[in-house]
């Protein structure tokens, strides 16, 4: 059977950017930055984005394109004992989807709420009332999961590319509009200062610093979709002639711009309306409705915004689902529809528990975290760093750096920039950094 392929490098770039840009930028970045010291977090984030993001993106895409296989079989093709790296990624994709889809459901809920009402009233009360209800958030979560399942069942290039092509430019413009308005709010400058001026006086001990560092690393992995084999899968549909280096620079750049714009839209409102930046996973939903409710025509902007967040979330969620489904399709020879359907069933069930942990089951905690927060921690701070660590070793040592370079250069067609630095980062710096940060986080 001929393997599906992206229709062009632009198609891939948009699909990979679509995978990277998602709730990680719009929902997670502002709240994680908000609860971890703002600008100090941002500084560490930038450093790690450059040192870990680009090299790991390259390594994953190269493994995928060279082997043309799903994550598990790709790792196994490089070395028969290394299938576990891909397997960890597939498990991780389940974990991420189980909470991602819950938030995707919230986004749908807000989209429909603004279609029905011109304003939501007290945003804080509205949010708390909604997420603690037992049934309603679960239903929205299932609707979101069903949307992803439908697209993946359609197939990679048709379903995934088509969506990403349209919405990314529109998302950019909408964020600029919301951010522009947010900056005119009274007290907005406090939000900007929080995001861009490091305040080291808030860091009292090494453990404060270490915990910000761990969160920053987790966010880099999460936001770029690395460490879980997603880009192995996407890379496996990529044309041999596409320029991987260009993709590995452009994807983090787009991703960063969108995350910063989300921060610039959300944090000023947080300060202007007297919320706490450390309010946690509800930050987006508790802050922006204030803007929409106060602004003339805000309702229409809200509808546009939540529709775009929904699309961004869907294009990311399908990349996760695709990396699970690809394994069932390639390896077990299931048909696409069964693979998508059964994978969805799996994560959707865990998702129900995650959703309930916000309300009905909120007294149940493990390691001091709700089930939902535990899943976030497990994926960002355990599974992704582990996956990233082994991917560095797999690509640069087991496969061999020269084989990897040959793939990145498309067999010598493109000159490699900074091969020495890339080699040193993948063989030494990145694994060491991940290990140290991971070890520190355990204490």
Summarize as ranges the residues that interact with ligand TRP (CB under 6 A): 19-20, 22-25, 96, 222-223, 225, 228, 230, 316, 319-320
* H-only helix segments in 244-382: 244-272, 283-294, 298-332, 336-356, 371-377
Interacting residues of 62 by C-beta distance below 8 A, sequence separation 6+: 235, 244, 395, 404, 407, 408
In this complex, which beta carbon is closest to ligand TRP, that of residue 185 or of residue 231?
231
In this complex, which beta carbon is closest to ligand TRP, that of residue 293 or of residue 322?
322
Is the four-CA dihedral 223, 229, 233, 235 of positive or negative sign?
positive
Closest residue to ligand TRP: CB criterion: 24
CB of 104 to ligand TRP, least distance (A): 10
In this complex, which beta carbon is closest to ligand TRP, that of residue 120 or of residue 163?
163
In this complex, which beta carbon is closest to ligand TRP, that of residue 242 or of residue 312?
312
In this complex, which beta carbon is closest to ligand TRP, that of residue 188 or of residue 262?
262
In this complex, which beta carbon is closest to ligand TRP, that of residue 20 or of residue 185?
20
CB of 421 to ligand TRP, least distance (A): 25
CB of 242 to ligand TRP, least distance (A): 20
Closest CA to 354 of 338, 342, 366, 336: 366
H or E element in which residue 38 lies = none
CB of 309 to ligand TRP, least distance (A): 10
Please count the residues of the chain. Answer: 443
Residue 101 to residues 63, 169, 395, Cα–Cα distance (Å): 28, 24, 31
CB of 383 to ligand TRP, least distance (A): 9
Residue 69 to residues 86, 305, 328, 395, 422, Cα–Cα distance (Å): 11, 36, 11, 15, 24
CB of 14 to ligand TRP, least distance (A): 14
Residue 264 near residue 179, CB atoms below 8 Å? yes
Copy the structure tokens of residue 9: 């490098």
């Amino acid at each position: 059977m001929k393997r599906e392929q992206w229709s062009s490098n632009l198609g891939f770039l948009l699909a990979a950017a679509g995978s990277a840009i998602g709730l990680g930028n719009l929902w997670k970045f502002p709240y994680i930055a908000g609860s971890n010291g703002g600008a100090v977090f941002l500084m560490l984030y930038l450093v790690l984005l450059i040192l870990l993001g680009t090299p790991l993106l390259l390594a994953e895409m190269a493994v995928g394109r060279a082997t043309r296989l799903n994550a598990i079989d790709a790792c196994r093709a490089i070395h028969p004992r290394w299938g576990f790296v891909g397997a960890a990624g597939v498990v991780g994709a389940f974990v991420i989807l189980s909470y991602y889809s819950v938030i995707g459901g919230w986004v749908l809920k807000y989209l429909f709420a603004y279609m029905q009402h011109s304003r939501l009233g007290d945003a804080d009360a509205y949010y708390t009332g909604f997420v603690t209800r037992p049934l309603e958030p679960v239903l929205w979560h299932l609707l979101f999961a069903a949307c992803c399942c439908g697209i993946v069942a359609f197939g990679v290039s048709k379903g995934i590319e088509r969506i990403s092509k349209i919405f990314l430019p529109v998302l950019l413009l909408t964020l600029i509009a919301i951010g522009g308005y947010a900056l005119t709010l009274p007290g907005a400058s406090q939000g900007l200062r929080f995001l861009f001026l490091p305040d080291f006086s808030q860091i009292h001990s090494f453990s404060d610093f270490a915990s910000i560092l761990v969160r920053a690393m987790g966010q880099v992995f999460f936001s770029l979709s690395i460490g879980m084999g997603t880009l192995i899968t996407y890379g496996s549909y990529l044309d041999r002639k596409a320029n991987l280096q260009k993709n590995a620079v452009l994807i983090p750049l787009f991703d960063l711009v969108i995350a910063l714009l989300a921060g610039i839209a959300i944090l000023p409102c947080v300060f202007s309306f007297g919320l706490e930046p450390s309010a946690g996973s509800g930050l987006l939903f508790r802050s922006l409705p204030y803007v929409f409710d106060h602004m003339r025509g805000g309702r229409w902007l809200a509808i546009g915004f939540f529709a775009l967040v929904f699309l961004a979330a869907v294009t990311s969620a399908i990349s996760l689902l695709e990396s699970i489904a690809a394994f069932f399709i390639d390896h077990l020879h299931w048909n696409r529809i069964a693979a998508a359907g059964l994978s969805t069933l799996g994560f959707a069930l865990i998702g129900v528990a995650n959703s309930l942990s916000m309300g009905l089951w909120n007294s149940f905690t493990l390691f001091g975290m709700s089930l939902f927060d535990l899943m976030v921690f497990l994926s960002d701070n355990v599974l992704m760093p582990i996956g990233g660590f082994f991917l560095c070793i797999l690509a640069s040592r087991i496969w061999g750096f020269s084989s990897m370079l040959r793939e990145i250069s498309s067999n010598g067609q493109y000159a490699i920039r900074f091969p020495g630095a890339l080699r040193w980062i993948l063989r030494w710096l990145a694994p060491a950094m991940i290990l140290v940060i991971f070890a520190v986080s355990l204490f």
